[in-house]
């Protein structure tokens, strides 16, 4: 019964039973190479996307098998999960990069001063701009936000803090239903409302805002409600224990805790409706001239401008297409600025969490 | 040993000095605030009733006119006309969810738990860029860029996997099929689901996560044990929001999908069941009279479909209510 | 304790207001401070500044999207010449235009077909007087081209039966015997045909199916309609741009669209009698002269029954009408409409539209007829 002394190859207990750090990258590279070989031989010639796809498909089972052999079942499952989750992110980048590249490369051509200072009044073919559409979008979306955010926020507060009975259940249910209203139906509703109140054929910016409000409220409610629900009850109870009235608890404790998420939700809803085309076509109409009065006359908006330039071009289609893409680029830039602003505000004013 | 009896006696207030506890006083701030909150909730109900009422009023003629009149003045008998489009709506949304939800949850997990901390918020911003793209641009991108790119892939699928009913039929030459439209829908609902899930995953109690890790769980096991159960209701909520967008998306589907009034499970051909929203968008401009009524009735059916789907989801969520943060 | 929390509480409320207020305030500020100036609008007297459209007189039109490019040009030229007038044309579709004209929401409409007999009638139209009927005036003629995108094929000749067979789904391969028969010397690939039609209701579809029905009734068994017959299958795309893009980006595709919208794609030649005709402006404009007025209409109502079989006439043509009142309730509106539609039908107007939208100008005969009709409007 002699104790076996350790053999000459020293095993480091900290890294025993684990794959070396380079193993991951070697496996990845190997899978891509094998994928490329299969692609060239079996498919219609070498193509980078097919290679990447095949590489990914080969990589997943290989890394699982290798890790399972060396590290064990649980660690292998962990590696597979990491690979899948990272893969999901990379997969989402593909359409994003493609979309942004399309918009940027096509939209940069007309991203000039003329575009932002001219309208389309009396402009045929080259030249012209979208300043009338830009104003329209800002005004219509601004009014919609002004109406939707207070109503949505207060409803979410009601559902989380106050609602207990059939009214709350009914509101929750119907907000769900509202999320499914097709955008064009919201436009029809706004158009019909204006027709009943002001006479047939009334199109104006405010009608467009009404359509957008119908679409925006459920998103604000749904997003805010979830985030308010997640605020731990202990915080609320601590506040009540100190004698703070309920309404002040909500304003000072619950809302700030959920602040970053709420601002995120609001920005999300603005992003959702700012690009809506169909309802605005019906409710706010077309025009080529500037109109800053939301209560009279049609008002052009950016998404309708983009669609109109694409769908109803003149002879030299290229000029209209260019303006359409630049309009799209402007829309995206607008939302991104709002997004940045929202994140900045959220970060500045949110309480420090453990994360 | 004198027993101390006084301390064991109950202290009862003498009859004369009894004072009933004052009723709880509702502060005026509370009253106003809860009134405003309730009022907002009721406003939403009013808006919804208005929209539903408008839909019913406008749709009523189409639902009650005889089929012969509808044949010549409308689009034909209502239920046989709407059925393929109702099927198309559900089918396209099903594929969109199938393709989009796993990827969205994966991305949300990546940003909240796997990515390096300093990059995390920047990465979230990058994904939110997808939400900024207007639906017209999705329509253009889908019909021009995506359809052309995936058309060879659909031909390959049809060639080798055509025995699966989904991939059978004659592949469209332009690639503007239901599967392509579902991919576009999946990309459109991705940012909604990811954003909400990300916020919820970030709110997981850190103590739960650390407890799991302290017990020796791998990162994936920690996620499985403490993050996902906590977020279950929230995930379903975000999927509902995404589903709502997919069911109602008008412009992108109208531009990408080559739709027809057929009921089929094939997703690679030129003859794809159109969606209700796309049908309304394509026909509304040229519609008048009874045709308009019929289209709006179609909108009503879409409303009903959303209702049913949401009811089903709510049933599932209600079983997990006790796992939400407010416990 | 309460007094200590009050200033903190006030700060929190301020934070809350700034949280929601900041982005909204920015939006409002952006909208207001820039106070609505456009470089091209302030130059026009009477139309600059806020609410420019309310300061000048406005004429509203709605209707066919097929002539939206032409309408843009006409409006631009007319507004430049008459600075105090603003004209808005919404290309929402012929049906919407007709309906808006009937309900009185607009002063004129653009339509891909004239009002039918049952739609006409004195007093039925909102902006007209009780005794006044409507007038259908042809103002826009556009040839419909059969566009295709087949590898290695530059020119294509299709006789009516073959064309109908392709769009009806009975001919499915490019190297089908019927296509080869009319295209000697052209190598047609052995690929599937993807025939693209309009998914939305459209006057272009109406005119195209009308041609197929008249020229090849044995193969094309459906009557002309705004909606492409679902029974014939094929691929659907939204709008003229949608069809053009689908054909351009696909492979082995064929479709029909306004010829001016698809200049880069190949146009097929159609057989009329024994000639092969391309979609040119002259061949298309002839149809209006060879067609007769609908029976039972008043002298100035120029609604036509299109004769697609006449010799030398390119048969797949779209004729769009301007719908106006015989007499308007408001004299000022009558002036506006007379001025604008008069310009539209004039030689310069037709020439401008031909340049900007690729339409075929009205012949001088038809121009004179339309001018007489416009002059009769009260």
Name the pairing type of β-strands C292-293 and C304-305. antiparallel
| A103 with B133: Cβ contact below 8 A | yes
Shortest CA gap C185–chain A (Å): 30
* Residue that the structure tokens 């009811």 belong to: B311
Cβ under 8 Å to B: C residues 185-244: 191-194, 196, 199-202, 226-227, 230, 233-238, 242
In Å, how far are A271, A330, A339 from A333, measured between CA atoms?
Answer: 11, 5, 10
How confident is the model over A142-194, as pLDDT tens digits? 999 999 999 999 999 999 988 788 888 888 888 877 877 778 888 888 988 88
Mutation target to probe the C interface, by most C beta carbons within 10 A, among A120, A149, A313, A350 is A313
pLDDT of residue C351: 92
Q: What is the mean pLDDT of residues A114-119?
A: 87
| CA dihedral of C218, C224, C227, C233, whole degrees rounded to 10 | 10
**pLDDT tens over chain C, length 378 residues:** 444 466 666 666 655 555 555 555 555 555 554 456 676 765 433 333 333 344 467 888 988 878 888 898 899 899 888 888 888 888 877 877 888 898 888 899 999 888 888 888 888 888 888 888 899 999 999 899 999 999 888 889 998 999 999 999 899 999 899 999 998 888 899 888 999 999 887 888 989 999 999 889 999 998 888 888 888 888 999 888 889 999 998 889 999 998 878 878 889 999 888 888 888 888 888 888 888 888 888 888 888 888 888 888 888 898 999 999 889 988 888 989 999 999 999 999 999 998 888 888 988 888 999 999 999 888
pLDDT of residue B82: 92
pLDDT of residue C37: 67
Name the pairing type of β-strands C235-237 and C269-272. unpaired
| C230 with B173: Cβ contact below 8 A | no
| C250 with B258: Cβ contact below 8 A | no
Give the lowest-confidence range in A15-24, A31-40, A103-112: A15-24
Q: pLDDT-based confidence at B110, cuts 50/70/90?
A: very high
Q: For residue B190, give both structure tokens.
A: 């991705």
How confident is the model over B77-100, as pLDDT tens digits? 889 899 999 999 999 999 999 999
Q: pLDDT-based confidence at A110, cuts 50/70/90?
A: confident
Give the chain B residue nearest C110 (alpha carbons). Answer: B286
| B103 with A217: Cβ contact below 8 A | no
pLDDT of residue B5: 47
| Chains near A (3 or more Cβ pairs under 8 Å) | B, C
pTM given for the model: 0.82
The yes-or-no verdict on residue B214 having pLDDT over 90 is yes
Give the lowest-confidence range in A177-186, B7-16, B22-31, B212-221: B7-16
B134: nearest CB among A157, A170, A331: A331
Conformation bin of residue B168: beta by default, left when phi > 0, alpha when psi is -120 to 50: beta
Range of the domain at B240: 29-324
- β partners of residue C276: C271
Q: For residue A6, give both structure tokens.
A: 């350790």
**What contacts B75, CB < 8 A, 6 or more positions away?**
B81, B283, B291, B294
Q: For residue A37, give both structure tokens.
A: 């070989």
pLDDT of residue A339: 83
Residues of C in contact with A114 (CB under 8 A): 39
Shortest CA gap C68–chain B (Å): 14
pLDDT of residue B323: 45
Give the lowest-confidence range in A127-141, B21-35, C52-66, C230-244: C52-66
How confident is the model over A318-331, as pLDDT tens digits? 888 899 999 999 99
C38: nearest CB among A117, A150, A266: A117
A131: nearest CB among C38, C80, C356: C38
Conformation bin of residue C123: beta by default, left when phi > 0, alpha when psi is -120 to 50: left
pLDDT of residue B208: 92
pLDDT of residue A182: 79
3-state secondary structure of C197: strand
DSSP string, C213-275: HHH-TTT--SPP-SSPPGGG--EEESHHHHHHHHHHHSSSEEEEEEGGG-SSSEE-EEEETTE
In Å, how far are A76, A330, C68 from A301, measured between CA atoms?
Answer: 53, 12, 18
pLDDT of residue C139: 92
Specify the CATH number for A116-348; select among 3.40.50.261, 3.40.640.10, 1.10.3720.10, 1.20.1250.20: 1.10.3720.10
Mutation target to probe the A interface, by most A beta carbons within 10 A, among C3, C13, C38 is C38
Judge whether C104 is closer than 8 Å to chain A, CB to CB. Answer: yes
The yes-or-no verdict on residue B59 having pLDDT over 90 is no
Cβ-based burial of A87 (10 A; exposed 0-12, middle 13-18, buried ≥19): middle
Judge whether C50 is closer than 8 Å to chain A, CB to CB. Answer: yes
E-strand stretches of chain C: 57-63, 85-90, 108-111, 134-149, 157-158, 194-198, 235-237, 253-258, 266-267, 269-272, 275-277, 292-293, 304-305, 317-325
Please write down the HEC assignment for all residues of B39-61.
Answer: HHHHHHHHHHHHHHHHHHHHHHH
Q: What is the mean pLDDT of residues A263-279?
A: 86
C253: nearest CB among B174, B262, B287: B174
pLDDT of residue B98: 95
Give the integer Cα–Cα distance in Å for C59 and C53. 10
CB pairs under 8 A between B and C: 96
Give the integer Cα–Cα distance in Å for A50 and A290. 49
Give the integer Cα–Cα distance in Å for B252 and B142. 8
Domain residue ranges of chain A, discontinuous segments joined by +:
18-108, 116-348
Give the chain B residue nearest A332 (alpha carbons). Answer: B132
Q: pLDDT-based confidence at A45, cuts 50/70/90?
A: low
| C90 with A285: Cβ contact below 8 A | yes
How confident is the model over A198-220, as pLDDT tens digits? 876 678 899 999 999 999 998 89
Asked if the structure places residue B19 within a domain, the reply is no
| Chains near B (3 or more Cβ pairs under 8 Å) | A, C
Give the integer Cα–Cα distance in Å for A217 and C327. 47
Q: For residue C224, give both structure tokens.
A: 């002309």
Give the integer Cα–Cα distance in Å for C78 and C87. 9
The yes-or-no verdict on residue A302 having pLDDT over 90 is yes
Q: What is the mean pLDDT of residues A15-42?
A: 82
Q: What is the mean pLDDT of residues B272-293?
A: 83
How many residues can be counted in chain A? Answer: 355
B148: nearest CB among C93, C230, C249: C249
**What contacts C295, CB < 8 A, 6 or more positions away?**
none
Q: For residue A152, give both structure tokens.
A: 């949505």
Rounded to 5 degrees, φ, ψ at B82 are -80, -25
In Å, how far are A248, A346, C23 from C15, measured between CA atoms?
Answer: 14, 11, 13
pLDDT of residue C44: 38
Mean pLDDT of chain A: 85
| A293 with C12: Cβ contact below 8 A | no
- Residue predicted with more confidence, A343 or A114: A114
% of chain B at pLDDT higher than 70: 89
Number of structural domains (chain B) is: 1
| B285 with C230: Cβ contact below 8 A | no
The yes-or-no verdict on residue B9 having pLDDT over 70 is no
The yes-or-no verdict on residue A28 having pLDDT over 90 is no
Give the integer Cα–Cα distance in Å for C221 and A246. 73
The Cβ of residue A91 has, within 10 Å, a number of other Cβ atoms equal to: 18
The yes-or-no verdict on residue A239 having pLDDT over 90 is yes
pLDDT of residue A268: 80
pLDDT of residue A227: 85
CATH code for the domain of B59:
1.10.3720.10
Helix/strand/coil percentages in chain C, nearest 5: 40, 20, 40
Judge whether C6 is closer than 8 Å to chain A, CB to CB. Answer: no
DSSP string, C67-89: THHHHHHHHHHHHHHSTTEEEEE
- β partners of residue C266: C148
Burial annotation B205-226 (CB, 10 A radius, 16+ → b, else e): eeeebeebeeeebbbbbbbebb
CB pairs under 8 A between A and B: 331
- Residue predicted with more confidence, C251 or A316: C251
Cβ-based burial of C290 (10 A; exposed 0-12, middle 13-18, buried ≥19): middle
DSSP string, B249-291: --HHHHHH--EES------SBS-EEPPHHHHHHHHHTT--THH
| B237 with A336: Cβ contact below 8 A | no
């Amino acid at each position: 019964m002699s104790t076996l002394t350790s053999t000459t190859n020293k095993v480091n207990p900290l890294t025993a039973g684990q794959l070396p750090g380079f193993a991951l990258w070697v496996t990845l590279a190997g899978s891509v190479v094998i994928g490329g070989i299969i692609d060239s031989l079996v498919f219609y010639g070498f193509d980078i996307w097919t290679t990447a796809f095949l590489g990914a498909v080969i990589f997943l089972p290989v890394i699982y098998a290798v890790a399972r052999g060396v590290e064990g079942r649980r660690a292998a499952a962990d590696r597979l999960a990491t690979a899948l989750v990272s893969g999901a992110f990379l997969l989402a980048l593909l359409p994003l990069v493609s979309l942004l590249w399309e918009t940027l490369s096509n939209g940069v051509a007309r991203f000039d001063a003329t575009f932002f200072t001219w309208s389309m009044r009396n402009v045929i073919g080259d030249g012209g701009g979208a300043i009338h559409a830009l104003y329209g979008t800002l005004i219509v979306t601004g009014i919609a936000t002004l109406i939707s955010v207070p109503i949505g926020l207060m409803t979410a507060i009601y559902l989380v803090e106050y609602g207990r009975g059939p009214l709350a259940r009914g509101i929750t249910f119907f907000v769900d239903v509202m999320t499914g209203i097709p955008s064009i139906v919201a436009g029809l509703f706004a158009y019909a409302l204006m027709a009943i109140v002001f006479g047939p054929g009334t199109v104006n910016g405010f009608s467009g805002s009404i359509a957008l409000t119908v679409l925006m409220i459920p998103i604000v409610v749904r997003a805010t409600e979830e985030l308010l629900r997640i605020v731990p009850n202990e915080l609320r109870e601590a506040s009540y224990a100190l004698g703070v009235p309920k309404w002040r608890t909500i304003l000072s404790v619950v809302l700030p805790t959920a602040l970053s998420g709420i601002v995120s939700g609001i920005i999300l809803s603005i992003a959702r409706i700012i690009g809506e085309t169909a309802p605005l076509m019906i409710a706010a109409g077309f025009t080529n001239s500037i109109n800053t009065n939301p209560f009279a006359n049609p008002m052009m908006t950016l998404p309708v401008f983009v669609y109109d330039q694409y769908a109803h071009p003149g002879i030299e289609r290229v000029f209209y297409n260019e303006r359409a893409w630049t309009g799209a680029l402007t829309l995206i830039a607008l939302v991104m600025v709002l997004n940045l602003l929202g994140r900045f505000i959220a970060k500045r004013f949110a309480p420090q969490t453990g994360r | 040993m004198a027993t101390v009896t006084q301390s064991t006696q109950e202290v009862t207030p003498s009859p004369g000095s009894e004072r009933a506890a004052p009723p709880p006083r509702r502060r005026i701030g509370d009253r106003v605030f809860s009134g405003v909150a309730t009022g907002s909730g009721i406003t939403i109900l009013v808006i919804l009733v208005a929209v539903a009422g408008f839909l019913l009023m406008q749709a009523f003629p189409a639902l009650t006119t005889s089929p012969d009149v509808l044949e010549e003045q409308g689009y034909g008998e209502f239920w046989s006309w709407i059925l393929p489009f109702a099927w198309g709506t559900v089918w396209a949304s099903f594929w969109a969810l199938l393709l989009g939800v796993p990827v969205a949850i994966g991305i949300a997990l990546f940003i909240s738990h796997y990515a390096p901390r300093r990059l995390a918020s920047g990465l979230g911003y990058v994904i939110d860029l997808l939400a900024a793209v207007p639906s017209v641009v999705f329509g253009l991108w889908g019909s021009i860029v995506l359809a052309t790119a995936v058309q060879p892939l659909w031909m390959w699928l049809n060639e080798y996997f055509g025995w699966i009913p989904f991939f059978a039929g004659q592949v469209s030459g332009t690639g503007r099929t239901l599967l392509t439209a579902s991919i576009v829908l999946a990309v459109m609902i991705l940012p909604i689901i990811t954003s909400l899930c990300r916020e919820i995953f970030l709110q997981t109690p850190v103590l739960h996560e650390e407890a799991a890790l302290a017990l020796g769980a791998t990162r994936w096991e920690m996620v499985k044990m403490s993050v996902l159960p906590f977020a279950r209701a929230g995930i379903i909520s975000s999927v509902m929001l995404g589903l709502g967008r997919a069911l109602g998306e008008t412009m992108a589907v109208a531009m990408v999908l080559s739709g027809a009034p057929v009921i089929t499970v094939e997703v690679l051909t030129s003859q794809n069941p159109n969606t209700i929203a796309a049908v309304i968008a394509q026909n509304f401009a040229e519609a008048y009279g009874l045709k308009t009524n019929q289209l709006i009735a179609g909108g009503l059916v879409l409303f009903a479909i959303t209702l049913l789907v949401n009811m089903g989801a709510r049933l599932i969520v209600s079983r997990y209510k006790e796992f939400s943060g407010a416990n | 304790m309460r007094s200590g929390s009050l200033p903190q509480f006030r700060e929190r409320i301020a934070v809350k207001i700034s949280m929601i207020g900041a982005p909204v305030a920015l939006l409002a500020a952006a909208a207001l401070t820039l106070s609505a100036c456009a470089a091209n609008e302030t130059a026009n007297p009477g139309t600059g500044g806020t609410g420019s459209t309310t300061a000048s007189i406005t004429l509203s039109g709605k209707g066919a999207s097929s002539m939206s490019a032409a309408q843009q040009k006409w409006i631009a030229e007319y507004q430049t010449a008459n600075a105090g007038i603003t004209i808005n044309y919404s290309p929402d579709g012929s049906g919407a235009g007709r309906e808006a004209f009937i309900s009185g929401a607009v002063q004129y409409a653009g339509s891909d077909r004239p009002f039918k007999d049952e739609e006409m009638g004195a007093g039925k139209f909102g902006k007209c007087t009780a005794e006044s009927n409507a007038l259908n005036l042809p103002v826009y003629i556009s040839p419909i081209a059969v566009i295709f995108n087949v590898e290695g094929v530059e020119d294509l000749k299709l006789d009516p039966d073959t064309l109908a067979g392709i769009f009806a789904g009975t001919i499915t391969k490019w190297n089908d015997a019927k296509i080869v028969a009319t295209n000697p010397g052209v190598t047609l690939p052995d690929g599937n045909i993807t025939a693209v039609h309009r998914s939305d209701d459209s006057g272009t579809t109406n005119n195209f199916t009308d041609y197929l029905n008249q020229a090849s009734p044995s193969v094309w068994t459906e009557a002309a309609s705004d909606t492409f017959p679902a029974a014939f299958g094929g691929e659907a795309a939204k709008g003229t741009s949608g069809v053009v893009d689908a054909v351009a980006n696909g492979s082995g595709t064929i479709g029909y669209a306004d010829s001016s919208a698809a200049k880069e794609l190949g146009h097929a030649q159609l057989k009329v009698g024994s000639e092969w005709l391309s979609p040119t402006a002259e061949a298309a404009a002839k149809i209006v002269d060879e067609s007769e007025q609908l029976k039972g209409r008043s002298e100035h109502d120029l609604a036509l029954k299109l004769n697609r079989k006449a010799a030398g006439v390119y048969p797949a043509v779209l004729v769009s009408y301007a719908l106006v009142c015989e007499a308007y309730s408001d004299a000022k509106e009558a002036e506006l409409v007379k001025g604008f539609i008069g310009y539209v039908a004039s030689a310069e107007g037709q020439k401008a539209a031909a340049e900007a939208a690729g339409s075929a100008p009205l012949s001088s005969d038809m121009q004179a007829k339309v001018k007489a009709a416009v002059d009769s409007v009260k």
